[in-house]
Chains A and B, each alone.
Chain A
Amino acid sequence: MPDATATNVPPVIRTRGLCRSFAMGASTVRALRGVDLVIERGEYVAIMGPSGSGKSTLMNLIGCLDTPSEGEYWLNGQPVATLGEEELARVRNHEIGFVFQTFNLLARASAARNVELPLIYGGVPPAERRQRAIEALAQVDLADRMDHRPNQLSGGQRQRVSIARALVTRPALLLADEPTGNLDSKTSYEIMALFDKLHRDGNTIVVVTHERDIAEHAQRIVTIRDGVVASDEQNVPRPVGTETA
């Protein structure tokens, strides 16, 4: 990972005093109360915390699905807190790959069409789109299932399609929200092994989870509690790749 060590490369994520409040009737709920976080290129970070801790809100902000009430956020050195709707859409398209707990695949589209989706919005021409979708599916070992629809795939395969969709734009950041939350433990290990491999390939990965053993795969575990960073520590990843096929 030579990029990660180069001094002139900005961190993938840099936040300063990130706050997010929600109006709930008359009162205001302060979900985030000033988060400072820096994630360098090539890092593999788990964000942990109990429900209600603000980790989902943080993930939405990092994923540019939401804009902060206060504070600043640079994604790849680019300030995104002030971006408008169209620019946020462009950032989501180019810079971020999302992996959701519930996969969020389009039911009527084949695996390949699902993976192509971000490229469609990115304006990539059809032939190149198909080629890149095939390559992304090959990265998750699903090249032979490209014409299958989500309902013809197992849970683990669906999640791998969704990872391929996240990878296909070659984003700066792979953002996974409880990626194994809907999978059994064996399939969970397969998916985590895939994340481990993607990390070794040089991808920057942020996984949001409330499960300790999922977080153990990351090199760094950030714990959020009551809207602030409660702990931020390095972790020695548990080797997992060996016990899965």
Chain B
Amino acid sequence: MIPQDIAHEPSWYESSARARIDGVLDPGSFTELLGPQCRIMSPHLALFDLPPAFDDGMIVGRGLLDGHPVAVAAQEGQFMGGTFAEVSGAKLVGLLRAAAASAGTSQTVSAVLLLLDTGGVRLQEANAGELAVSETIRAVLAVRQAGIPVIALIGGRAGAFGGGSLVASCCSRIVMTEQGRISVTGPEVIETNKGAEEFDSRDRALVWRVTGGRSRALLGGADRYIRGDVASFRAAARDRANPPAFDIDTMRAEQVRLEKRLERYGDCHDTPEIWARMNLPDPAGISEIDDAAFIERLAATGGAHDAR
């Protein structure tokens, strides 16, 4: 799973949510808000005989990046799949609302970093989780309207599925690794509902070809592709180059971008077919090359955009 060339460096995929935060921010600068000592836990898991966590799998706070204040939220994919639920969602929504309200004050932040690692809505709290996703989207867009970029960092074990994928698409920018996956309905759920001939979830190569970071980056569904080490995530988070505003011009540009994608690739059945139509050299080999070679090939496509 861990690419050979970063096997000796701390891996994002293998790290806990707290380790990821520590690796992205300036050392020792993180202050957690409503941390585990407050013991704000899910009141609903007991109904299902499931153990709660003191942080409900969501860590929020503020810290510094290159000395600039930032707000940060990280989902712990190892607890209940990093799911959106009543408490975990409200912590994120509270952080985003505070960040939006801070714009123009002495408390303002230069960016909000969302370290997504989520299977989507927590089904044991489905209604609260669904609403939390909707509230998060509204709050993310309010932060962007206040002129503060929201950056999604995706490369954890749980990926960004369900509502998490919609939240990602509403951020100013999506940063992804090869191991990162984004999809609305997970392959297992599609298989359960529509059969293995529609989507064989045990075909790992297929799953990665459809949902993985390389496919997303080539199609324009992720804006930055990076190696899977923690240092690369820090470097990506520091990249402040003109994130798109959330306004009518950006939405019109996104409309055109997404319309064109359907026109060009709407009849394709698998990603190598798309890559061949993009005139990429050796489309079948895209999954085989190493990260450095892939990053070079991605840059050569000239597909970078700010229409998000």
Judge: A and B partners, yes or no: no
